[in-house]
Chain A
Amino acid sequence: MTSHPHPAPTEAGALPGSLLIRNLRKEYRAGQPVLKDISLAVEGRGITAIIGPSGTGKSTLIRCINRLVDPTSGEIWFGGSDLARLRGRSLRMARRRIGMVFQEYNLVERLSVIENVLCGRLGYVPAWRAFLRRFPDSDVERAFALLDAVGLGADFATRRADQLSGGQRQRVGIARAVMQDPALVLADEPTSSLDPKTSVEIMELMAALSAGGGTPIVINIHNVDLARRFAQRVIGMSRGEVVFDGPPDALEDRHLTDIYGGEGWLS
């Protein structure tokens, strides 16, 4: 670890949730890279949307950041360490500060809503507390406050997660991510399983989280209109490479053609 060629990027003024990706490469099968040496700097504020066709590596990119997927090579600098090289306990410590919101919500179905939110603290609380369901009072209070903040009242708290609708589940998913007290939130297609109205509501919630809490969010999203509407920066990916990077206003039809290919669908 000590022989690392590059110094940690800790230039003065960098925001805590900043992310620096250098030459990130991922091959599920040798010689067939899904990510082709991606380099990206994400400043620690606002919403960054990653758009691109299915199978282009968006999800792999996001999952490399919190190491649900192990990159083949490259560096991911976050909070003063290279996430790509962390293992064991230090990886867990880093993951605690990165919240994640999933397309399929990934709640523990047979646990209550409040317990699902409290799962966001599993990296912090001692094992016996979680085991006996004796979470610290401050955590429980915060969980209730977050349920209110995501628009689910206290009467949802004791319901089982499998009794909730998709939109409600995603609200719980967001509350769980925020419960981690994250410096960065990753969202992998958080609206793709939701109807259009609920999708907008969920994106508004994410925008409020990013604006109010100052937490930067990196979000994979299929829906170009939602990306334009809510993101401050759009990254377009195609075949494992970044082909567009800029503010949503700069995203033109020709870029979309680059990203998705073809033209017939643009009308």
Chain B
Amino acid sequence: MSEAALSGPSRRWVRFTPVERGARALVYVLTAVAVIWSLRTIEIIPEFLYDAPEQTADLFVRMWPFDWAFYPKAVHAALIETLHTATLGTLLALVLAIPFSFLAARNFTRSGPLNWIAQFVFVSSRSVNSLIWALLFVAIFGPGPLAGTLAIAFRSIGFVGKLFGEALEEAQQGPIEALTAAGAPRSMILVKGYWPQVEPAFWSVALLRWDINIRESAVLGLVGAGGIGVALDAALNNLYWDQVGLILAVIFAVVIATEFVTSFIRSRIL
């Protein structure tokens, strides 16, 4: 290569073409407009905004000291109910979601319509919030933890099914091919080819969903679906702030505890 080729006319490198630069500027302007527009929509009432710090401080003062006597009276049983709702709901979701995961995995089920049906089930499950599911089930089964358990289960099917289905799709095809070549029936390919590969993902998804469900089942009581939320709702309605404070603290403690438990189990089994 000659010297001239190396030092030819100075070439400049620009990251964006003029059109791209214009488009980016437009995106900035649109973002600013959107922010201003939404600020105007949420209708901040200045009087409330100004004394918000005072109100917050006031709330905390009313919450403390907690009404500890309330714990054995009503909170403990409700807390246990919440944990049971979350756990049973998660188990039920796993049982219901697994068949759909296999239907959704395109490498396992080579049928577009079946894949689509499974995806549809997942999307339906996920697009409805737990509280809405709970409202539905309270209407059907009446108030109580049964409605809560079903709400948790139906909301979790989409989450568990989608993630587990994706894990199935990521399974290596080599071992599957080897078992197929050995004349293994489909059920055995599932048990000996897919399951060992996706087992860690399965437990990981199950633990994660259990963790989420404990948090979600704590609020289901607000719509009458049992658990600690019922106690919270009652305390809020009666303006017993010392009880509200206690319940919030208990929920916080339980969430921290499950966080520890799940990360411990995960580090052990995976």
B193 cross-chain contacts in A, Cβ below 8 A: 108
Q: Are B187 and A100 in contact (CB under 8 A)?
A: no
A130 cross-chain contacts in B, Cβ below 8 A: 188, 191-192
The B contact surface, by secondary structure, is: helix
A-B contact count (CB 8 A): 83
B196 cross-chain contacts in A, Cβ below 8 A: 108-111
A95 cross-chain contacts in B, Cβ below 8 A: 180-183
Q: Does B197 contact A (CB under 8 A)?
A: yes
Contact pattern, A 78-112, Cβ under 8 Å of B = 1, otherwise 0: 00000000000000111111111010111111110
CA distance A100 to B184 in the complex (A): 13
Q: Are A102 and B174 in contact (CB under 8 A)?
A: yes
Q: Does B18 contact A (CB under 8 A)?
A: no
B192 cross-chain contacts in A, Cβ below 8 A: 108, 111, 115, 119, 122, 130
Partner of A104, one of B174, B187, B197: B174
Q: Does B257 contact A (CB under 8 A)?
A: no
B184 cross-chain contacts in A, Cβ below 8 A: 92, 119, 122-123
State which residues 159-202 of B face A: CB under 8 Å. Answer: 172, 174-175, 177-185, 187-189, 191-193, 196-197, 199
| Contact flag A106-B185 (CB < 8 Å), given A111-B192, A111-B196, A122-B192 | no
B191 cross-chain contacts in A, Cβ below 8 A: 127, 130-131
Q: Are A176 and B182 in contact (CB under 8 A)?
A: yes
CA distance A120 to B180 in the complex (A): 10
| Contact flag A176-B178 (CB < 8 Å), given A108-B192, A108-B193, A111-B196 | yes
Q: Are B177 and A119 in contact (CB under 8 A)?
A: no
Partner of A110, one of B179, B180, B182, B197: B197
State which residues 102-140 of A face B: CB under 8 Å. Answer: 102, 104-111, 115, 119-120, 122-123, 127, 130-131
What residue in chain A is nearest B194 (Cβ atoms)?
Answer: A108
Q: Does A180 contact B (CB under 8 A)?
A: yes
Number of interface residues of A (CB under 8 A): 33
- Nearest-neighbour CB distance to chain B for A135, whole angstroms, equals 11
Q: Does A68 contact B (CB under 8 A)?
A: yes
Partner of A66, one of B175, B181, B199: B181
CA distance A110 to B175 in the complex (A): 11
A100 cross-chain contacts in B, Cβ below 8 A: 178, 181-182
What residue in chain B is nearest A111 (Cβ atoms)?
Answer: B196
B178 cross-chain contacts in A, Cβ below 8 A: 100, 102, 106-108, 119, 173, 176
CA distance A99 to B177 in the complex (A): 12
What residue in chain A is nearest B200 (Cβ atoms)?
Answer: A110
B179 cross-chain contacts in A, Cβ below 8 A: 108, 119, 122
Contact pattern, B 144-163, Cβ under 8 Å of A = 1, otherwise 0: 00000000000000000000
Max chain A C-beta neighbours (<10 A), residue from B182, B185, B191 = B182
CA distance A52 to B214 in the complex (A): 60
CA distance A101 to B136 in the complex (A): 55
| Contact flag A127-B174 (CB < 8 Å), given A95-B182, A100-B181, A100-B182 | no
| Contact flag A127-B187 (CB < 8 Å), given A108-B192, A108-B193, A109-B197 | yes
What residue in chain A is nearest B188 (Cβ atoms)?
Answer: A122
B172 cross-chain contacts in A, Cβ below 8 A: 109
| Contact flag A94-B177 (CB < 8 Å), given A109-B197, A111-B196, A130-B191 | no
CA distance A33 to B185 in the complex (A): 31
Contact pattern, A 27-41, Cβ under 8 Å of B = 1, otherwise 0: 000000000000000
Q: Are A96 and B183 in contact (CB under 8 A)?
A: yes
Q: Are A123 and B183 in contact (CB under 8 A)?
A: yes
CA distance A110 to B195 in the complex (A): 10
B189 cross-chain contacts in A, Cβ below 8 A: 122
CA distance A92 to B179 in the complex (A): 11
- Nearest-neighbour CB distance to chain B for A233, whole angstroms, equals 23
The contact sample of 26 A-B pairs, CB cut-off 8 A, is A68-B181, A92-B184, A93-B183, A95-B181, A95-B182, A96-B182, A96-B183, A100-B181, A100-B182, A105-B174, A106-B174, A108-B179, A108-B197, A109-B172, A120-B182, A122-B185, A123-B183, A123-B185, A127-B185, A127-B187, A127-B188, A130-B188, A131-B188, A131-B191, A173-B178, A176-B178
For the complex of A and B, the 10 pairs showing the least CB-CB separation, nearest first, are A123-B183, A122-B184, A96-B183, A95-B183, A106-B174, A106-B178, A100-B181, A110-B196, A92-B183, A108-B175
With A92-B183, A108-B178 given, name 9 new contacts (CB 8 A). A94-B183, A96-B183, A99-B182, A100-B182, A102-B174, A106-B178, A109-B196, A111-B196, A122-B192
**Chain A residues in the interface with B (C-beta under 8 A):** 66, 68, 92-100, 102, 104-111, 115, 119-120, 122-123, 127, 130-131, 173, 176-177, 180, 186
